[in-house]
Each structure stands twice: as structure tokens, then as C-alpha cells.
Structure 1
């Protein structure tokens, strides 16, 4: 319960990047001892949603441009492996059915201008993609990198309405998988990630410029 509430606060922006977390304060706010809080913080550090800095404490990470590139580099490697396994092991039809369901849900959320749900379905799509490969080790590795992606998307939610082709990008990936077109699916996945990196880096630059302006003011 403690871990889930802290996780939600981080992802939803209640604890913005750079925030420091204190065991004593969290324990008091949750009405629990420090033990469960310490355990929850350690779990979130392992997931990449928190960062422990020696002699300083525990913080919500601030994602740099290099962090964003590295996260999507890892995701492309993991999800690319999932795509190749899905197609090579005759799992394409089953994977497409699950992925198409998520794409339809994403499209409905986009039509309703519910950008928070659009972001959530985006993560669901990629989680389903990796799960469809039926590789426990790929899924285990993906768990950490998708948690760090959540931090990125908490910055990106307000930008999603500027990405007119977001639903179509996901639909193209799923259609390529259905067609068992490995090369096409990989190309669509790479383009999707490249677009996300550019948008996230632009958003990060805007935030830094804003903070610099506030300090100058």
C-alpha cells in the first residue's frame, strides 16, 4: 500500500522530479512505522522510480537528455527482441489480437481528449507486446525500463495532443506484426521511439528554460 501510493504520487506528478523523500515524514503521513516505508523506497529504487544518492538521501530522478536516449535504446533492444520472437514462433495472430484491443482503447481515449488515459494505454501496448513474446527474462528486464518510462511520460502527458499520429504509430506496429513483417515492425517501432525521444527532449528543454527564467526573474 505504501509503495503503491508513493508510486502513484511520482507518476501523477504529486512528487515532481528532484523531490527528496524522508522516511520519518512518509511514515507519519501514512500512519505506519519506518520499516514498511524503507522497504517501499528500496523497491522503488530497484524499479528506477527513485534514486538513492550517498550522504544525501532518496530523490525522484530528474531525467536528463542522455537518460531519455538510454531508456529508449534499452526499450528498442528489448521490444525488438520481443517482435522477432513473436513472429518467429507463430505468436503473431494472438499478439495482434491483444495489441489491437489496446490500440482501440487508446483511440477512444484520444477522441475523448483524455490524454492521461492515452499515456496509460501507450504503456499498456508496449507491456502487452513484450508479454506476447512469452519470455520471462525479457519481461523481467522490461519491468525496470518501463518504470523509468513512466517518469518520462509524466513529463510528456501534456504533449501527447501534439502527436497527431500516436494511435496510428501503434496501429502500424501491430499491423506489421499481424502481417509477420519483422523488418516493417522493427522500422515502425524505431520511428515511434525516435519521435518519442525528440518530443521528450523538447519538453525537457522547455522545462529547463522555464526554471532558468524563474531563477533569473
Structure 2
């Protein structure tokens, strides 16, 4: 019998940040929506101090933008030229990460963890929970980025992926999205870095 997957314990602030992330990804908090600290504190039953910490965290991630004397608001949608630039920057970071696996290949445990993430991705598609699809998709790439370059590389990469969101308009079926990711994983498992780089480039558009 396989060992049960450990439950990740999130702090209250992490739970709030995750909920607000979901609200933004789902469109419940639309671009340019101003956040009210007092209303958020009331919603989550906390003082304004932890709410400020969460707002700062999401600002660093690129989901929010803060201006002096104006508070924080949901970041605007990127114009097409900037979106294209952001995609290129993200792609370059992920190719760099993939190439690092030449000397530090994935372990069987890594492969198992990533396969579990892909099962979760398929499950989210099956439930038509596209907010969760986005978050699980990001977690797959985050795993690879962290494995390749640790927190330093994640901190460079993460604001790009959160700012640009993910483009599912080009995906025609859930199986297409999941298979793209399985192709990346299979190439890495076989140590075929050239094929893995090609697969990651095709996935990030």
C-alpha cells in the first residue's frame, strides 16, 4: 500500500493569500479592483496587520499593485506586447531550469511527486475547476523550477507566471494540456534534455 501523501499545514496568512489568489485567478476580483483592508479583515476575522502582510506578499508576486496613498489593487491585464515579452522571459527561465537537469536529474521520488500533480491537474479539469487547474499547473512548473535552482530561481520566476496568468485559450481539450506536461516529465525521466526543452517551449505560449 502506498504511503499517504502528507498534508501540508498552511498558516492563516498563507490560507488567506491562497484564497485571494484564487479570487484573482477566477476573476472574482477583477483587474484594477481596489482592496479594502478593513473589509478583508472583517471577511477573514483578523486584524488589519496580517491582511497587510498578505497584500505585501501578493504585491511581490505581481498579482497586486500598491501605490503610495492609494492602497492596493488587482494588477491590470498586460497589453499584448508586454504579455509576449513576459511569456518570453518565463520561457527563458524555464529552459534554463530544464537544462540544469543535465547534471542533476530527477529522482524517482521527484517523478512520483510530479505524476501526482498531473493526476490532480486531470482531476481539476474533470471537475471543470479552472481556478484549480491554473494553480495545479503552476505547482508543476514550480516544482521543476525549485528542483533546478532552489528559492533564488523560484523568486525570479514566480512573479512572471503569476502576472501573465496562464493562457488556456489555445488548449482545446484537457487531455492536450495534461499530455503536454506528461511529455515534459517523460523527457526528463529519460534524461532527454533536448526533448524536454522543446516540450517546455511548446507548453509556454
Normalised by the size of structure 2, how large is the TM-score? 0.75
Is the CA contact (8 Å cut-off) linking 2:37 and 2:52 kept in structure 1? yes
Deviation at 1:170, TM superposition (A): 0.7
Local SS of the residue matching 1:103? helix
Moved over 6 A (4+): none
Is the CA contact (8 Å cut-off) linking 2:22 and 2:131 kept in structure 1? no
Is 1:85 the counterpart of 2:96 in the alignment?
Answer: no
Is 1:16 the counterpart of 2:48 in the alignment?
Answer: no
Residue 60 of structure 1 corresponds to 74
C-alpha distance in 2, partners of 1:105/1:12? 18
Is the CA contact (8 Å cut-off) linking 2:38 and 2:48 kept in structure 1? yes
Normalised by the size of structure 1, how large is the TM-score? 0.71
1:46 to 60, 63, 66: 60
Gaps of 5+ in 1: 195-217
Residue 21 of structure 2 corresponds to 7
Alignment length, in residue pairs? Answer: 189
Local SS of the residue matching 1:81? helix
Gaps of 5+ in 2: 1-11
State the Cα deviation string for residues 122-169 of structure 1 (Å, max 9, x = none): 1121112112225332123233334335xx24xx56x48634511111
Local SS of the residue matching 2:101? helix
Deviation at 1:48, TM superposition (A): 1.1
Is the CA contact (8 Å cut-off) linking 1:47 and 1:147 kept in structure 2? yes
Is 1:180 the counterpart of 2:191 in the alignment?
Answer: yes
CA RMSD of aligned residues (A): 2.9
Deviation at 1:86, TM superposition (A): 1.8
